[in-house]
Chain A
Amino acid sequence: NAGVTQTPKFQVLKTGQSMTLQCAQDMNHEYMSWYRQDPGMGLRLIHYSVGAGITDQGEVPNGYNVSRSTTEDFPLRLLSAAPSQTSVYFCASSYYGAGDGETQYFGPGTRLLVL
C-alpha cells in the first residue's frame, strides 16, 4: 500500500492564480480531510469528507473548494490564491473504530508559496 499520496510536493503561485492539490489513498478509508499547518497554529481543518459525494467545511474553509467523486481521491482547489494561503497542506484519510476512536493517516504534505 502506498498509503496517502499528495502531489505536488512544492508549488509557487502568483496571487490570483488557481490550482488543485491532489490527494489519493489506497486503504479504502471512508473519511478524508484537508488541513493546513502554519507556524504556531498547529493543524487547522479546511474541509473533510465522510464518504464519496459527501463533503463539509472545517474550521478555515474560505478560499478552498473540495469534491469527492471516488473513495480514493479528494482534491483541494484554491480558487484565487492569496499570500495568506502560503502554508503546508496535509491530506489525511481515516477510519473510525468504535473502541479506538479515529485513526488518521497523513500524507507527506504540499508546501505552497503564494507571491
Chain B
Amino acid sequence: TQLLEQSPQFLSIQEGENLTVYCNSSSVFSSLQWYRQEPGEGPVLLVTVVTGGEVKKLKRLTFQFGDARKDSSLHITAAQPGDTGLYLCAGGYTGTASKLTFGTGTRLQVTL
C-alpha cells in the first residue's frame, strides 16, 4: 500500500522557472523528509521537517510541512540544470527508526 502520493510525476521546465512538488498522505507522520536522487546513485537527504507548519529553506529550495503533518511541499525558485533529478519524499514515525515510507517520486528535468 502506497501511503505517500507525489505530484506531479514528471516535470520538465526551463532554467529560471519556479516549480512546486507536492507530497500528500492520508496518514499523519512524525517527520517528513525530502531526498534528491541522480541517475545511478542513491538518494541524498535534503531536509527533515518535524513540526506541523514548519518551513525550511535550503538556498533556492523551500520545504513546508503541513499543519496536520499529512502533507508537504517542495518549492524551487529559479530552477537550474543542476536541480535535475528524482525528488522523493519520505514519512517517518517517532520511535520507529529505519521504517520510512517513501513516495513514488517526482522526476524533474531543467533545460537551458
Contact = CB atoms under 8 A, between A and B. Distances in A.
Q: Do A and B bind?
A: yes
The majority secondary structure among interface residues of chain A is strand
A73 to B, nearest CB: 16
Contact of B88 (A43, A49, A100): A43
Residue picked from A30, A33, A101, most chain B C-beta under 10 Å: A101
A13 interface: no
Contacts, number: 74
Interface stretch (A14-22, A75-83, A106-114): A106-114
Given A42-B88, A43-B88, A50-B97, A100 B42 contact: no
A106 B43 contact: yes
Interface residues of B, number: 25
A32 interface: yes
Contact of B98 (A40, A43, A48, A108): A48
Interface residues of A, number: 31
A27 interface: no
Contacts of A31: 97-98
Nearest to A107: B42
Contact of B45 (A42, A99, A104, A107): A104
Contact of A102 (B48, B103, B104): B48
Contact of A90 (B43, B92, B97, B105): B43
A103 B102 contact: no
A99 B99 contact: no
A102 B98 contact: yes
Contacts of A45: 98-101
B84 interface: no
A24 to B, nearest CB: 14
A12 interface: no
B110 interface: no
Interface of A: 4, 30-33, 35, 40-45, 48-50, 58, 90, 92, 94, 96, 99-109
12 contacts: A33-B100, A42-B2, A42-B88, A43-B90, A45-B98, A50-B97, A50-B98, A92-B42, A100-B48, A102-B33, A104-B33, A109-B42
